[in-house]
Chains A and B, each alone.
Chain A
């Protein structure tokens, strides 16, 4: 049982490049999330998807787009990467309202 799987684990981009972070969960969860983690700032919500077919902005959505491809998969796209997007990105999911989140192992992204 893999839980929440994120790819890639590490990525280095040049300013202006684009990329997509992939996330898949095999727990049949309805809700999925993307957070970024920066030193001293905790985890900040970028986007979330309460159910298949819906997405909503979190605290820091600028510069990102998301796609809830199906119930299992929720991808995060950086169209034109900037150094300020250097961070660790976590995908998470949960089954029902107000339950605990299950996190993936994270993607460490550096934008030069």
Chain B
């Protein structure tokens, strides 16, 4: 079946360190989305990448879509306590089925 794998499952970093989570799909994706879920909250849409090799930035967050459109990454520079949460990638299989990765839970050590 269509799967989206994400690593690592957990990441603990000192405040100020960088953080990266990686996402891999079993098949080529038409596009990929990233979501953030704060502890006890609901997922919130961050960004969508569509083009092969695309790179987008949101302040300290950098999102990349692989050349083969089968992998993606999210990099956070100089983490802050507000970055705590679980980050999910998600890929569209067809027009209406959005499949989520297993997520990476980020905790920050002050």
Residues of A within 8 A of B99 (CB): 45, 59
1/0 contact string of B7-48 vs chain A (CB within 8 Å): 001000000000000000000001101010000011111001
Q: Is the CB of A48 within 8 A of B95?
A: no
> Is B88 engaged at the interface, CB distance under 8 Å to the other chain?
yes
> Is A50 engaged at the interface, CB distance under 8 Å to the other chain?
yes
How many A-B pairs have beta carbons closer than 8 Å: the answer is 55
> Is A53 engaged at the interface, CB distance under 8 Å to the other chain?
no
1/0 contact string of B67-110 vs chain A (CB within 8 Å): 00000000000000000000010101001111111110000000
Q: Is the CB of B96 within 8 A of A40?
A: no
Q: Could you pull out 27 A-B pairs where Cβ atoms are within 8 angstroms?
A: A31-B96, A35-B100, A40-B9, A40-B102, A41-B102, A42-B88, A42-B101, A42-B102, A43-B88, A43-B90, A43-B100, A45-B97, A45-B98, A48-B97, A58-B97, A90-B43, A97-B96, A98-B30, A98-B31, A98-B48, A98-B92, A98-B95, A100-B45, A101-B43, A101-B45, A102-B45, A106-B42
Contact residues of A with B, CB < 8 Å?
31, 33, 35, 40-45, 48, 50, 56, 58-59, 90, 92, 97-106
Contact residues of B with A, CB < 8 Å?
1, 6, 9, 30-31, 33, 35, 41-45, 48, 88, 90, 92, 95-103
